[in-house]
Amino acid sequence: MSGAVPSLPTVGDAVLTNLVLVDGLRPQPRDGLALIIRDGVLAEIVDAADAPRDGAVDLGGRFVMPGLINMHTHFSLSLPGDGGDAVSSLDPAELALYMADGARRTLLSGVTTARCVAEKGGADFALRRAIEAGRVPGPRIFTAGRALCCTGGHGFDSDDTIECDGADAFTRGARSQIALGADLIKIMISGGIAGQHEQIDTPQLTRDEMAAVISTAHAWGRKVTAHAGPAAIIAEAVELGLDCVEHGYELTPAVAALMAARGTALVPTLVVTRAQAFFDDLGVPRWMQERSLAAGPRHLESFRMALDAGVEVLLGSDMPPFWDFEGTSAVVRELEHMQAGGLDAAATVRAATAAPAEWLAVSDRIGTIERGRFADLIAMPEDPASDIRALRDLDFVMKGGVVVRRD
């Protein structure tokens, strides 16, 4: 090799043949087609017979679908326990490298776009810039920066939140993250499973505080999502214009109907109340494990209420997407829980691709396989639109026309 060593490629050219297309648009897969990719973008979908043969990538009849979009990711996650303490003790340089490794592993797990919903110390903004520049591999990142909580509220003891009290302070908190480049704002409006001195149903923000964040973010063209458990506080936030609910542990039919009517999405993160092995890996204390696992049945009931009401549900693992968990990755396990909970396989594909892209307002760039979209693609031997468990055998990942995994 001579000359300068290049950065990692961020866009590429390719021709993909011998595939079955699950495009995220049509209910049935299509075969006999080829994908022509130029400068990282899908330029043409042609009959296989018309595709160039030189340099074409033969996918061996694999099913090709859009890359996964994980809407609840924390690259700097530190839960209570020994594993989380090890992350919290990292200095800024170590944390940046730790998060870069998580981004790489997330991409290889098939997640080509990630929405970060509370990261430590602004490192997510640096990570996003590094990925875009080709210095480290990783998914496309949309981030909330640091989440906003009340004094002593959910997540207060970590550097991935900012404590605020009163409408003025929450307004300043929202503006501070927008100034850093936040794509959305996250607020902690109730307790959760990871707070020792709270309960899932502990309301934590006043109406004025929620209204201040939502109106400020919307004025700046940003959406707001909320860590939230109990129905009453969720209803109040939805009435104020909340755009998305994380977890939604304790919905009611009436609140689910309100969410559907107002267009408020749900990222259910079902896996976090079914994560015994993950908690054991991290040494999570018994009180948190018991609270999490005990919330599981009600959590699933809430998810089904949301489906019955017609709420748009979106993929979000909360756990590191790449985590080796129950025979597959955490992100695939989450999708399996969503399908088992009542979402049919084709709708589960939408919840992992087109629907998140619409929420992020980037459906003209990602989320489906059609001309003009980024060539963010994954492939596997079986049809995920018939059974989402097909993703367990995912063996091909492309981002922006660059093959990053080909087993």
Q: Tens digit of pLDDT for each residue in 205-244? A: 999 999 999 999 999 999 999 999 999 999 999 999 999 9
- Whose tokens are 């979402």? That residue is 343
Instruction: Using CB atoms within 10 Å of the CB of residue 56, give its burial: 0 to 12 exposed, 13 to 18 middle, 19+ buried.
Output: middle
Domain with 172 in it: what CATH number?
3.20.20.140
pLDDT at 227: 96
Question: 286: which DSSP letter?
Answer: H
| Position 153 pLDDT exceeds 80 | yes
| Judgement on whether residues 220 and 298 belong to the same structural domain of the protein | yes
| Judgement on whether residues 255 and 108 belong to the same structural domain of the protein | yes
Q: Average model confidence (pLDDT) for the chain?
A: 95
State the residue range of the domain holding 309: 68-359
Give residue-wise pLDDT tens across range 67-92. 999 999 999 998 888 998 899 999 99
Q: β-strand 184-188 against 223-230: which pairing, if any? A: parallel
Q: At what angle do helices 296-309 and 253-262 cross, to 10 degrees?
A: 50
Model confidence at 2, in pLDDT bands (50, 70, 90)? low
Round to whole Å and give the CA distance between 214 and 223.
8
| Judgement on whether residues 107 and 159 belong to the same structural domain of the protein | yes
2 lies in a domain? no
| Position 116 pLDDT exceeds 70 | yes
Best CA proximity match to 321, nearest among 394, 381, 370: 394
6 lies in a domain? no
What is the domain count for the chain? Answer: 2
4 lies in a domain? no
Question: 54: which DSSP letter?
Answer: T
342 lies in a domain? yes
34 lies in a domain? yes
| Position 3 pLDDT exceeds 80 | no
Model confidence at 26, in pLDDT bands (50, 70, 90)? confident
pLDDT at 25: 87
| Judgement on whether residues 48 and 87 belong to the same structural domain of the protein | no
Which run of H or of E encompasses 155?
none
What is the mean predicted confidence (pLDDT) over 344-357? 97
| Judgement on whether residues 242 and 382 belong to the same structural domain of the protein | no
Cα angle: 270, vertex 146, 283; to 5 degrees? 50
| Position 334 pLDDT exceeds 90 | yes
| Judgement on whether residues 31 and 55 belong to the same structural domain of the protein | yes
Query: Helix or strand or coil: residue 281?
Result: helix
First-to-final CA distance of the chain: 26
| Judgement on whether residues 304 and 390 belong to the same structural domain of the protein | no
| Judgement on whether residues 213 and 345 belong to the same structural domain of the protein | yes
| Judgement on whether residues 19 and 150 belong to the same structural domain of the protein | no
89 lies in a domain? yes
pLDDT at 335: 98
| C-beta separation of 283 from 81 below 8 A | yes
pTM of the predicted structure, to 2 decimals: 0.96
Domain with 400 in it: what CATH number?
2.30.40.10
| Judgement on whether residues 154 and 51 belong to the same structural domain of the protein | no
Best CA proximity match to 160, nearest among 83, 243, 227, 247: 227
Model confidence at 6, in pLDDT bands (50, 70, 90)? confident
Give residue-wise pLDDT tens across range 38-75. 999 999 999 999 999 888 999 999 999 999 999 999 99
Round to whole Å and give the CA distance between 361 and 355.
10
Residue 146: both structure tokens together = 């640091």
